[in-house]
Structure 1
């Protein structure tokens, strides 16, 4: 434990010194938990960047374990200083045309893009768009882009908690395809429809003819409330299994710019039971998984926040998270984190997290246990 504290202090101090002369170009404490990067200018080319260094210490896992549990994909490396996500982004914007290209490195890409071809593993974002109307905010974009599903993104500084929720880790962070987006003139409604290559896939899954489709309906009646419903219809299985997927993501962000705010999220998905031989199915109906989450955040000063999270993920049939145990994956998560903006574009964070599972699924020194405890620190800068 002493070694961990010394290492964490060293990392924070070293990075603080290295960024002391950074220029203030973005705000470290983002008010909305939406996938985003630095705001693009009205027209022209803008280059921006982001880097997040982290140290995660899993107190439950064996000392030789180098990775966090298998259902996690961010801040994955255990007991070592590493980079979760770093990217440089070029964004071009004009009145009727826009485009983005961001090249990434870090363990986020290593684990989330593990199934992709080598050529695209370092692409965080690559898309082109055109405005279809001279008077309406109607855009057609195509390429690889951040997912519109969920309130958390891979960019940690844009999220209320340092680490991602279980539901975010196990739903798409990125999507590939084409999307049509319409924003109403009053700015209160966003409507999106997309045709995709699959469930977080750049290249289609072998044996799946697709395509998949996804939608989003978002309503923002005021700066104090955002309501969102996103869907995915398609599959993440070969056609031979005839296993369609229908997924819903709901969330509400309440008072995000105030001293106290709350996020309420709920995911529910269903995969049709597979064909096992000929036209015979395992059974009638579908395998269902779901996950509620509540996050509360309190501003303790103009530079700091405290946030707490309670979540639950039920996937007893192992559709998304396989365990091979009698009850499958039925896990509660609890976390508490503290954020401090060292500079407007430099954010230090520390978070403690505990998982408790119905079955013994967590690796320990002796066998498997029902609980997992960890502490994660990070330092993120943007420019």
Structure 2
């Protein structure tokens, strides 16, 4: 071998040694490109004509929007990151505001659990996808109900009673099977009914069967599990049906119906149910109006804390002046069969909300 050929061979050898890091760099770039930051700020002003002495709208344990009266307040500021499963993914979302205080208010107290431990957490979950199956584990949004915890995803600004009195989040393991473009099913193994910490020895199961067509989307959701603590536990059975239909290009309607029952030691089983109807009309590209009517009957007071029947009507004007900004002006009237709104049986609210998100 000539001395002139030796430098060439060394160059090829060095090039060959430098090739392996390239795939690692590509994998890192791919990972970074899949990461998606997200967040938003949701602020409001609400006025209650009852002028509540404690400055709070709604009943205790509810009010994940517009909780405070006669004050410009922060409902929710959130920030997080998500990674679509390919095959492994994750989502972490934290937040502050009156909504976070309310939604975690019923967390069971104990060692390393309680509202103060989880007060900033919206979601923290890992996911794995393979073919038509996706698994998700951790704290993630509930499969129950029509409404979301994030205001920009809902038609109205304030939530329905069915939304407030059913889970926004749950903790456990979820399996989702996609059978076709239209049909899917879910199975959940859960700690319980909107809880991260556990306060009894039982676990819960949840299911969903969902259809998503061109005009109609619908889902049937269930929950079964031991609820309560110490000697007050009992089996809870719950069913929920939600549906949305695109009537025309500018008109959509949605409806939801809930029914639940729970055994109670030494007493008859508790029963509750609710129904709601929503209509949304897109008046112009940035402007829409929404009307909602609902009824929630909590005969034994197990869910709302008081034996009562609640009825409510809501009218919302929505304006989207920019792609990631939603403004809502809302009038709402609630009525109960008992005095749950301070010394009154009803309350009337006017609420203005603004949500910016990315």
Check whether the contact 2:85–2:128 (CA below 8 A) recurs between aligned residues. Answer: no
The aligned residue for residue 142 of structure 2 is: 147
The aligned residue for residue 177 of structure 2 is: 182
Following superposition, the deviation at residue 65 of structure 1 comes to 2.9
SS in 1 for 2:284: coil
Aligned residues: 319
Superposed structure 1 runs of 4+ greater than 4 Å apart: none
Following superposition, the deviation at residue 43 of structure 1 comes to 6.1
> Mean alpha-carbon deviation: is it higher for 227-236 or for 299-308?
227-236
SS in 1 for 2:234: coil
Out of 203, 218, 232, the residue aligned to residue 241 of structure 1 is 232
TM-score by length of 2: 0.85
Out of 304, 309, 327, the residue aligned to residue 330 of structure 1 is 309
The aligned residue for residue 43 of structure 2 is: 53
Following superposition, the deviation at residue 94 of structure 1 comes to 4.3
The aligned residue for residue 261 of structure 1 is: 252
The aligned residue for residue 347 of structure 2 is: 372
**Is 1:358 equivalent to 2:306 in the alignment?**
no
Check whether the contact 2:151–2:157 (CA below 8 A) recurs between aligned residues. Answer: yes
Cα 1:377–1:332 change in 2 (3 A) is same
Structure 1 residues 1-383: aligned runs within 5 Å: 44-62=34-52, 64-71=53-60, 72-74=62-64, 75-114=66-105, 115=107, 116-131=114-129, 133=130, 136-184=131-179, 186-205=180-199, 208-220=200-212, 222-238=213-229, 240-255=231-246, 258-272=249-263, 274-275=264-265, 281-283=266-268, 286-323=269-306, 328-363=307-342, 368-383=343-358
Check whether the contact 1:43–1:93 (CA below 8 A) recurs between aligned residues. Answer: no
Following superposition, the deviation at residue 93 of structure 1 comes to 2.3
Check whether the contact 1:199–1:235 (CA below 8 A) recurs between aligned residues. Answer: no
TM-score by length of 1: 0.80
Greater RCO, CA 8 A, separation 6+: 1
Following superposition, the deviation at residue 78 of structure 1 comes to 1.2
Q: Distance in 2 between matches of 1:242 and 1:70?
A: 24
Cα 1:243–1:350 change in 2 (3 A) is same
Q: Distance in 2 between matches of 1:346 and 1:209?
A: 44
RMSD: 1.7
Cα 1:213–1:76 change in 2 (3 A) is same
Following superposition, the deviation at residue 86 of structure 1 comes to 1.4
Q: 5+ unaligned residues in a row in structure 1: which ranges?
A: 1-40, 276-280
Following superposition, the deviation at residue 240 of structure 1 comes to 2.7
